[in-house]
Amino acid sequence: MARTLSSNIQTLILQEGIRIVHLLNIQTSTPITVTNHVKDLTYDSVTYSAGGNFVDLQEVQESGDLEYANMNVSLKNITTTVRDIFKGEDFVNDTAKIYVAFLDADETLLDAYLFFEGTVANASLVQQKDTFAVNIGLANQWKNWDIIKGRKFTSTSQKSVYPNDKGLDAAHLTNSDVRWNR
């Protein structure tokens, strides 16, 4: 399904001297709002910080199918606050948006287009010399498309879908809280 660009953005694309930058907004406990531009930008009353943090954005292929798609984003030179967010693992399913923003020759933000909207699926911290980086996996709204509703963490529920699976036969013997993917 093709996207429709507003007439304002179509006009901007055709102008001479227009620069394109990206804005990343992740709504974690402390919102992460960064840009790959050389100076801070404000869009929709939100300030996006520059400073070399937002480094890499993976290309996304769109299709007309209802399918799970993900996107990877890399942040480098992250602050200790951002590091602690991803170290604490409280980020899964937090909302994430990526905008394509258009700047004129004076570096004034003219307009922005929502390029990707989804949630944080996973992240990995990488320690580099004197700095930290984080690689973030974002998932679109279809990530839970294949989940079977009404499932429980019991052997009976597991065998209703996978009759020969014995992985949860002893699940009732533990009193500890089982945390997956942590």
Q: Which region holds residue 181: left if phi is over 0, alpha if psi is between -120 and 50, else beta?
A: left
The per-residue pLDDT for range 75-97, each reduced to its tens digit, is: 888 888 888 888 876 788 889 99
pTM, whole model, 2 decimals?
0.70
- Pinpoint the alpha helices (H) of the chain: 7-14, 80-87, 155-161
Is the pLDDT at 2 greater than 50? The verdict is no
> Average pLDDT of 166-171?
71
Lowest model confidence (mean pLDDT) among 25-29, 76-80, 142-146, 170-174: 142-146
Per-residue pLDDT tens over the stretch 115-139: 888 888 888 888 877 788 888 988 8
